Structure 1
Amino acid sequence: MAKKNIDEMSFLDHLEDLRWHLIRATSGVLIAATLAFIFKDFVVGIIMAPKEMNFPTYAYLCKAAQFLEVNTSFCAAELPFEIEVRKTAGQFSAHIWTSIYAGLVFAFPYVLYQLWSFISPGLHEKERRSSRGFIIISSLLFFLGVAFGYFVIAPLSLNFLANYEFTDEISNAWDLQSYIALVRSSALASGFVFELPIIIYFLTKVGLVTPQFLRKYRKYALVLVLILSAIITPPDIASQVIVAIPILVLYQVSIYISAIVVRNQKRKKKRKHV
């Protein structure tokens, strides 16, 4: 059956179309999750890598500390914690949920494609052409964010929490689910935060945000960024600054993108009046 023209579709037709796009997106995630479940050694290797002191982040920070002649835990032989499972189905449950989240990460471009396939028919031809790189740019930003969370936030958090002592009478024995949740949340949270320029682009297109608004509330955004950095990183100043810098850069990029969108909209209005 041929797909109806966007102008001919009723509200129920739109809901039916959305349902099929959601089904396809979910199917893509499940297929990727199944592959992650099968190739568990590869996935487990990625998740467990930040606990090893030969992880690239620790190696670079250790070299920096040695250059500055500063004593640091980044040069230790190993992180002082062990990973344990305290539930009967703990490992199986961790395998299932880790595969699902890995499927979401790997299938993210396809999920975006399904989202864009649903939205794009409602746009004008010029808008579709100008937004042609949406999937590529959004996916690139997401994977950059995931990489930042994995290589920066996760190891900094693990190192701080592993070396923090409430009392030396207690040893660190972390639950497997808790460890995976820390690595997963660090990567996914950063991935979605890095989508800020794309979000600002669309908010500007619909008139909810302007570059003047973003500039006016820049100081409040700075406070929010520092709060966000404090939430997703350990409470040491160095880690918060490292995380805050790329978020502030993204905010500045978002202002620039918003200004471009507004300028293009003004040009279109002038052409219409000519």
Structure 2
Amino acid sequence: MTENNATEDSGLQESFLSHLFELRDRVIKAGLAIIVVFACLVYWAPDIFHLFAQPLLSALPAGGKMIVTDVTGSFFVPMKVTMVVAFIIALPVVMYQLWAFIAPGLYLHERKLILPLVVSSYTLFIIGMAFAYFLVFPTVFKFMASYNAPLGAEMSTDIDNYLSFAMTTFLAFGITFEVPVVVVVLVRMGIVPLSKLREIRPYVIVGAFVISAVVTPPDVLSQLLLAVPMTLLYELGLLVARMYVPKPSEDEVVRPTD
């Protein structure tokens, strides 16, 4: 009996270590993908930052410019922006490595759902960032600049502060545009019934405005630009989730074993 227990413990330890080594390899491959893309882009780091800052530069008055208050800011900020761009470009590889690691432990119908979820998540995240860059940034910056003229104040922003603001806004809108995916996953996995998600719609709308008030600048315009899309995307998620309501037969599928 003792020998059997020792054999089982040894098998569990070997299985754990094999999964740990596989996770290490997947992380290394994902990191290498990001590094390779970054190395290809680093030469154009100043141009990438200029494109990244274009919404603010366009809103500055004639002669206005961005400033650097840190000695190393003019070097490291463009590098940070380039690294973020490299991560976004390499994100499909990162997501594939994650999928390859968890796929063996999923149901068959869950595996079929992974690819659409990965593609839709990546696409919606990019759309959310594009929405912030092309619509939210120009609107908010012009709105803020209009308040400076009557005050006689000169609008100048440190590039590091702009980076922090932009990254926070990109992340907020990127995650916001994932709402349909979250709704579909909740329904497809049977975590929350579709009828319940419809029932809590008023609370979701209130929550959308609360979240937008926390993560966006303190002006009504930017808050509306986040809360309204979040509400509409929730409705879109409810519509799409109707096609992914789990069937009773799928609950009987046995999870694959090693």
Q: TM-score range by the shorter chain?
A: 0.7 to 0.9
Q: Is the CA contact 1:156–1:234 (under 8 Å) kept in the aligned structure 2?
A: no
Q: Select which of 242, 248, 254 maps to 1:266.
A: 248
For residues 14 and 236 of structure 2, the distance between their equivalents in structure 1, rounded to whole angstroms, comes to: 37
Q: Secondary structure at the match of 1:215?
A: helix
Instruction: Select 2:67's aligned residue among 66, 69, 84.
Output: 84
Q: Which residue in the other structure is 2:18 paired with?
A: 13
Give TM-score, length-normalised by structure 2.
0.80
Amino acid at match of 1:120: A
Report the secondary structure of 2:130's partner residue.
helix
1:159 maps to what in 2? 142
Distance 1:173 1:241, change over 3 A: closer
| Residues 143 and 191, structure 1, Cα contact 8 Å, conserved in 2 | yes
Distance 1:82 1:39, change over 3 A: closer
Question: 1:225 aligned to 208, 212, 236, which one?
Answer: 208
Corresponding residue for 2:32? 27
Counterpart amino acid of residue 38 in structure 2 = A
1:144-176 C-alpha deviation (Å, 9 max, x unpaired): 111111112222232233333498364332111
CA contact (8 A) 2:183 2:234 kept: no
Of 95, 106, 127 in structure 2, the residue corresponding to residue 123 of structure 1 is 106
Provide the identity percentage: 28
| Equivalent runs, 1:74-153 vs 2, <5 Å | 78=61, 81-153=64-136
Q: Which moved more, 1:161-170 or 1:144-153?
A: 161-170
1:204/1:258 contact within 8 Å kept: yes
Equivalent pair of 1:50/1:154 in contact (CA under 8 Å): yes
Distance 2:192 2:145 in 1: 42
- Judged with a 3 Å threshold, the aligned counterparts in structure 2 of structure 1 residues 41 and 89 are, in CA distance, closer, same or farther, namely closer
* 8 A contact 1:204–1:261 mirrored in 2: yes
Identify, as 1 or 2, the structure richer in helix: 2
Is the counterpart of residue 237 in structure 1 residue 239 in structure 2?
no
Q: Does 1:37 align with 2:42?
A: yes
Length-normalised TM-score, structure 1: 0.75
Deviation at 1:85, TM superposition (A): 0.6
Structure 2 runs not aligned, ≥5 long: 1-11
**Distance change >3 Å, CA 271–CA 128, structure 1 → 2:** closer
CA separation of 1:44 and 1:153: change in aligned 2, threshold 3 A: same
Q: How many Å apart are 1:221 and its aligned residue?
A: 0.9
Match of 2:5?
none
- Determine helix, strand or coil for the equivalent of 2:115: coil
Give the alignment's Cα RMSD to 1 decimal.
Answer: 3.1
Cα 1:52–1:169 change in 2 (3 A) is closer
Shift in alpha-carbon separation, 1:120–1:88, aligned structure 2, 3 A: same
Contact 2:66 2:157 in 1 (8 A): yes
Contact 1:145/1:191 (<8 A) preserved: yes
Code of the residue aligned with 1:255 in structure 2: it is L
- 2-structure distance, mates of 1:114, 1:269: 27
Structure 1 position 178 matched with structure 2 position 161:
yes
Measure the CA separation in 2 of the matches of 1:209 and 1:36: 43
CA distance in 1, matches of 2:88, 2:70: 27
- Unpaired runs of 5+ residues, structure 1, are 1-6, 54-73
Alpha-carbon distance, 1:43 to partner:
0.9
Distance change >3 Å, CA 95–CA 170, structure 1 → 2: same
Tell whether the 8 Å contact from 1:150 to 1:186 is kept in structure 2 after alignment. no
Partner of 2:69: helix, strand, or coil? coil
Helix, strand or coil: the match of 1:209?
coil
